Amino acid sequence: MSDRLDVRKTYKLLINGAFPRSESGRTYEVLSEHGDFLANVAQGSKKDVRDAVVAARGAQTKWSSASAYNRGQVIYRLAEMAESRRAELGEHVGLAEGLGAKQSAKSVARAIDRIVWYAGWTDKIAQVFGGANPVAGPFFNFSVPKACGVVGVVAPQESSLEAFVDAVLAPICSGNSVVAVASERRPTPSVLLGEMSATADFPPGVLNILTGATGELAPILASHEDVDGIDLSGLDEVVANELHALAAGSIKRVYRSGHDAPASTRRLRAFIETATVWHTIGQ
């Protein structure tokens, strides 16, 4: 019989490509679906939200100006890394959601397939959501999709990995940077994916992940004046309505999935602006 003590991991935040503890020093216990201890997780604070938004703003211009092909390569690299750690992700999804080995493996496989799906969309967004417009005169007129900017995401509470992938990668693939509040009860699969993103060529600050009390962090994110849009799909209607009202104070784009399919083009369109470009027709 081994007399070693288990070395328990404390899962930290992901801010600007680094893994800090919460500035408040707080942590909280995450339990499995069956009530067993699973992990200690950093409990983020108001300052952590602000730091994450600053990091996201600093990264957004470089990320949006990268070629669509390059963004697709980076996201596909994340899929490769997730594929190599399928067993670990499956274990965490199973413990978090109370799923058997086969069910959790299928959930992880669907999540990885969605990462590949978003990688493939990076160089198609301009074709699908942009276009050449008919005008009277010797001009070209183009509609060009542009990233909205910094997007806040309040991750769905029940789905620990699949829905998180949809929520963060839809805005990222179109050139936005993201500050995500992970599921309060089931954060570890999301944090694991964040750890992979930090070594998958994502520029620091493109994806920032906060863990902690959703009721504490989400209102700060929704009311932050340097956040350009927010995805409230992970919240029940009453709470989403409250945060929607907070977001209106700084005229944010707000996305609520409603009856959309998990990986939908409406979600892709949610955080895209359309710029109009005129150009004279040369002789």
Contact 253, 232 (CB under 8 A): no
Strands of the chain, DSSP E: 10-11, 27-31, 37-42, 131-133, 139-147, 150-154, 177-181, 207-210, 229-231, 253-255, 272-280
Average pLDDT over residues 142-146: 88
Q: Tell me, what's the pLDDT at 232?
A: 94
Is the entire prediction scored with pTM above 0.85? yes
pLDDT over 80 at 8, yes or no: no
Note the pLDDT of residue 261.
Answer: 67
Instruction: Quote the pLDDT of residue 259.
Output: 66
Per residue in 169-228, pLDDT (tens digit) is 999 999 999 999 999 999 999 999 999 998 888 999 999 999 999 999 999 999 999 999
Is it the case that residue 1 has pLDDT exceeding 70? no
Q: What's the rounded mean pLDDT across residues 240-247? A: 94
pLDDT above 70: residue 283: no
Residue range 161-167: mean pLDDT, rounded: 93
Higher pLDDT, 136 or 89: 89
- Selected from 1.10.8.80, 3.90.1150.10, 3.30.390.50, 3.40.605.10, the CATH number assigned to the domain covering 10-280 reads 3.40.605.10
Q: Closest Cα partner for 118 from 269, 263, 8? A: 263
> Chain centroid to CA 65: how far?
19
Q: Across 35-39, 221-225, 262-266, which has the greatest mean pLDDT?
A: 221-225
Query: How far apart, in whole angstroms, are the C-alpha atoms of residue 153 and residue 235?
Result: 11
HSE-CB for 152 with a 13 A CA cutoff: 31
Q: Which two tokens stand for residue 86?
A: 């399928």
Strand order in the sheet with 272-280: 131-133, 139-147, 272-280
* CA 206 – CA 161 distance, rounded (Å): 18
Calculate the average pLDDT of the chain. Answer: 91
Q: What is the pLDDT of residue 168?
A: 96
Please determine, for residue 33, whether its predicted confidence score (pLDDT) is greater than 90.
Answer: no
Strand bridging mode 150-154 / 131-133: unpaired
Please, are residues 150 and 53 in contact by the beta-carbon 8 Å criterion? Answer: yes
Using DSSP's 3-state secondary structure scheme, residue 276 falls into: strand
CA angle 10, 16, 22 (to 5 degrees): 35
Q: Compute the distance between CA of residue 25 and CA of residue 167 in angstroms, rounded to an integer.
A: 28
Contact status, residue 69 vs residue 122, Cβ threshold 8 Å: yes
The 10s digit of each residue's pLDDT in 46-105 is 999 999 999 999 999 999 999 999 999 999 999 999 999 999 999 999 988 889 999 999
Helices 86-97 and 68-84 cross at an angle (nearest 10°) of: 80
How is residue 19 written in tokens?
Answer: 């893994």
Contact status, residue 124 vs residue 69, Cβ threshold 8 Å = no
